[in-house]
A = this chain, B = another copy of it.
Amino acid sequence: MSAISKFIKKKRREAGLTQEEFAIRSGLGLRFVRELEHGKETVRMDKVNQALSMFGMEAVPGKKDE
């Protein structure tokens, strides 16, 4: 599971949001939110960044291991 997928799932739950509520608030499709959290690797980066921006984050290069 990617760091991004795990991050979104964790943060969303901490915010007390369902996938549906998160989808609505972020302007993303519910199916996309599900697939992103489920670890789908072929998602589009703009949508990923749209999700991350809900928590003031964006996709950046990071060390692979650790």
Contacts and interface: CB of A to CB of B under 8 A. Distances in A.
Nearest to A53: B64
A14 interface: no
A56 B49 CA distance: 21
Interface of A: 2-4, 7, 41-46, 48-49, 52-53, 55-64
Given A41-B49, A43-B45, A52-B61, 6 more contacts: A4-B59, A4-B60, A4-B61, A42-B44, A44-B45, A55-B61
Given A42-B44, A44-B42, A49-B41, A59 B61 contact: yes
A46 B41 CA distance: 5
Contacts of A52: 61
